[in-house]
Amino acid sequence: MTEQRTRLSTYAVAIRDEAVLLCQISAGYPNEGMWTLPGGGVDWGEHPEDALVREVYEETGLALGSREFLGVFSRVLDSRVPPGQFHFVGLIYRAPLVGEPHVTEVDGSTCAVRWIPLAELEDTAVTPLVDEGLKLAHPTR
């Protein structure tokens, strides 16, 4: 029987000066080398908004203040390790962030973080989560 697992995560869409804040995925993690929204998994018993604050800080070094819930990103994926199916559910928030980011979590899933100009996204390897987050944040784009 195929194992089926669900992972609840929270992510921030932060845009300033026509650039979006993205994190590069570390080697050894799914989608390594690609850029994605800052955020990550909700721990057992943790409120999703608390997870958002924690994950954004770990990956960017920036404190999260206000936030606005935008929507849900949901995908079922096949997983090699461990084998089975993986239901990825991401809660996406608009979260204005200020300051210069830096990765604070050592040996985590993020190896780099930076503001990437929106005009450069077409030539940047981003996860589908980035596209969905930007659509939710700016439906007229």
Sequence ranges of the domains in the chain: 4-137
The whole-number mean pLDDT for each consecutive block of 10 residues of the chain, a chain of 141 residues, reads 86 95 90 94 96 95 93 86 82 91 85 95 95 89 58
Residue 93 CA to its chain's centroid (Å)? 10
**pLDDT (0 to 100) of residue 58:** 93
Which tokens in the block code for residue 92? 């996406």
Which tokens in the block code for residue 35? 């850029």
Measuring CA to CA, how many Å separate 41 from each of 45, 58, 59, 123? 12, 12, 12, 28
- Return the residue matching tokens 């669900």: 6
Q: Residue 109: CA atoms inside 13 Å, Cβ hemisphere, count?
A: 15
Does the global pTM surpass 0.85? yes
- Contacts of residue 129, Cβ cutoff 8 Å, sequence gap at least 6: 11, 36, 37, 73, 90, 92
* Residues 123, 113 contacting (CB under 8 angstroms): no
Domain 4-137, CATH number (from 3.40.50.880, 3.90.550.10, 3.90.79.10, 2.60.120.330): 3.90.79.10
